[in-house]
Copies of this chain bind each other. A is one copy, B any other.
């Protein structure tokens, strides 16, 4: 095994799954690659190619059964289990993420919240309370954390990344605008709102001629 699957394919699979889950409410039913593509903003061929990397899930002439494909995609993406997540940083972003019900619904369970601010430590957050980041190694171990979300200021991000890597965590979702240095076996996904806005800015300059001056 160990096929080569591109990052963009994985992102599309996540979209397909979201679309299928919206359909699930209604009934089983089926969906063709064309319909799925339409909703996901891609092409039918792309949908079929993406899925074909993992198996044959459709029926010719009929399309894909919503319930079946949902199960397969969950399996492929590793979502048939619950991931134990630690949230590092109890600021505004951390708060927004903690309250974001879709995470838990999708199988990402925030089992610990850590911060450095004595004013925040001990504060009750939902079922858990904010703990001291100084106890990070112990907490990650005891809570059997598998994924860390870094929602801390830039200057603290690399140090914390080193710590969570030392603690054996192999997946990091990074909100700090910094290129983290991690060993190759650790997966990092960055979320950078400034970069997104700057991409928009670039596009807008392009289309509306450049109004520099």
Chain A, interface SS category: helix
Q: A77-B198, A103-B194, A173-B200 are in contact. Are A207 and B179 (CB under 8 A)?
A: no
Does A76 touch B at the CB level, under 8 Å? yes
Does A117 touch B at the CB level, under 8 Å? no
* Partner-contacting stretch, out of A25-33, A55-63, A134-142, A185-193: A185-193
Question: Which range contains the number of A residues in contact with the other chain?
Answer: 35 or more
Contact of A194 among B41, B102, B201, B211 (CB under 8 A): B102
B208 touches A170 (CB 8 A): yes
**What is the count of identical protomers in the complex?**
2
Which residues of B have CB within 8 Å of A102? 177, 194
* Partner-contacting stretch, out of A43-51, A89-97, A124-132: A89-97
Contact of A100 among B17, B193, B205, B210 (CB under 8 A): B193
Contact of A103 among B97, B193, B210 (CB under 8 A): B193
Which residues of B have CB within 8 Å of A177? 18, 102
A1-55 at interface with B (beta carbon < 8 Å): 2, 5, 7, 10-11, 13-15, 17-18, 39-41
A185 touches B207 (CB 8 A): yes
Q: A40-B179, A92-B99, A207-B185 are in contact. Are A200 and B171 (CB under 8 A)?
A: yes
Closest to A185 in B: B207
A196 touches B173 (CB 8 A): yes
Contact of A170 among B17, B76, B204 (CB under 8 A): B204
Does A80 touch B at the CB level, under 8 Å? yes
- In whole Å, how far is A176's beta carbon from the nearest beta carbon of chain B? 11
B197 touches A106 (CB 8 A): yes
A-B contact pairs, 7 of them (CB 8 A): A78-B204, A92-B92, A92-B99, A102-B177, A147-B197, A189-B196, A191-B193
